[in-house]
Amino acid sequence: MPLKIYLAGKLVDEADAKISVFDHGFLYGDGVFEGIRVYGGKAFLLDEHITRLYESALAIRLEIPLSKSEMTDAVNQTIAANDIGEGYVRLIVSRGAGTLGLDIRRTSDPQVIVIADTITLYPPEMYRDGLKVITASTIRNHAAALSPRIKSLNYLNNILAKIEATDSGCIEALMLNAQGEVAECTGDNIFIVKNGILKTPPPEAGILEGITRAAVIGLAKQAGLTVEESAMVRHDIFVADECFLTGTAAEVIPVVSLDGRTIGDGKPGPVTKDLLERFQELKSGR
């Protein structure tokens, strides 16, 4: 069945869902987006994603032509129109069509697009056995150049690192910041467990403040764990007891090696497994 896409305030057939080649989202990556999971027909942590979308837009001086509650309705309508039970929503706001120049004053009509589709999940053995990850030579965007806190339509920084991952037979790559500290992976945040303490790089390390990251920090605190957001380097991962990634697509996924160094005993650890279980409960609304 062809999808119904939310575009210009209406649900249209995917074959008719087209935007201008003069849209600055296409010409310059000038826009913002969100990726949201649908569980049991409901968009998961939708308010958090909407909040981040509007903050990203504010940071790039993009005025979204819908209120937050209209945006929430647009997402829910699109999920319902496509009868998505378990799936994925891509919410995009682009600058709109303009002249062939960077000036945002020469653009008009920012486009709001909502796609709701099924999702291809990572194979179950990756959750059972854990991932092998490499460090990319491509560093994460410097926050003073393009803040990683903005979920913008320009993902080339992450794409270049992802190419390094796939070239090495990995599905994720670790990205460092300009100081050589651990930032995040190409589409996931990173956590380690050391001596029973859960650690993850702080926003100042130059990361996207993941919605899944925040949810997992909340679950860990509920479980009585100490959570530290502090700078870390690759060595901290080499000597960690456990490591895992969080993200909308991956949810919570164990990491068992970095750059050929086995982490802990090379198997998904107990804290990771417990948090994975707690996350499954959270998403199923228990």
211 binds ligand PXG (CB under 6 A): yes
Extract the tokens encoding 215.
């949810």
CB of 200 to ligand PXG, least distance (A): 11
- Region 20-79 residues binding ligand PXG, contact defined as CB under 6 A: 35
Q: Is 181 in the site for ligand PXG (CB under 6 A)?
A: no
CB of 38 to ligand PXG, least distance (A): 12
83: left (phi over 0), alpha (psi -120 to 50) or beta: left
For residue 96, the SS3 value is coil
Which listed residue (247, 254, 264, 269) binds ligand PXG by CB under 6 A? 247
User: Which H, E and C letters describe 53-94, residue by residue?
Assistant: HHHHHHHCCCCCCCCHHHHHHHHHHHHHHCCCCCEEEEEEEE
126 interacts with ligand PXG by CB under 6 A = no
The 3-state DSSP class for residue 207 equals coil
DSSP string, 217-247: HHHHHHTT-EEEE----HHHHHT-SEEEEEE
Q: In terms of C-beta density within 10 A (0-12 exposed, 13-18 middle, 19 or more buried), how is residue 185 classed?
A: buried
Distance of closest approach, residue 106 Cβ to ligand PXG, in angstroms = 29
Nearest-approach distance from CB 94 to ligand PXG, in angstroms: 16
Active site residues: 151
Among residues 11, 60, 81, 249, the one that binds ligand PXG under rule CB under 6 A: 249
Query: Partners of 228 in the beta sheet?
Result: 199
Q: Based on the shown chain and the rule CB under 6 A, indicate whether residue 184 belongs to the binding site for ligand PXG.
A: yes
Cα distances (Å, whole numbers) of residue 261 to 64, 132, 134, 233, 264: 46, 9, 10, 14, 9
Residue 208 contacts ligand PXG per CB under 6 A: yes
Q: Does 188 bind ligand PXG (CB under 6 A)?
A: yes
Tokens for 166, please give them. Answer: 């796939």
Q: Of the ranges 69-77, 98-106, 247-255, 268-276, which one interacts with ligand PXG (CB under 6 A)?
A: 247-255
Tokens of 4: 């119904």
- One-letter amino acid at 191 equals F
Least distance from ligand PXG to the Cβ atom of residue 105, Å: 29
- Which of 82, 138, 141, 158 lies at the binding interface for ligand PXG (CB under 6 A)? 158
Residues 1 to 30 in contact with ligand PXG, rule: CB under 6 A = none
Smaller CB separation from ligand PXG, 100 or 144 = 144
Q: Residue 184: enclosing H or E segment and its boundaries?
A: strand 182-185
Q: Which stretch binds ligand PXG (CB under 6 A): 23-31, 56-64, 183-191, 218-226?
A: 183-191
Among 248, 256, 278, 282, binds ligand PXG (CB under 6 A): 248
Among residues 148 and 268, whose Cβ is nearest to ligand PXG? 148
- Residues lying near ligand PXG in the complex (CB under 6 A) are found at 35, 158, 184, 187-189, 208, 210-213, 246-249
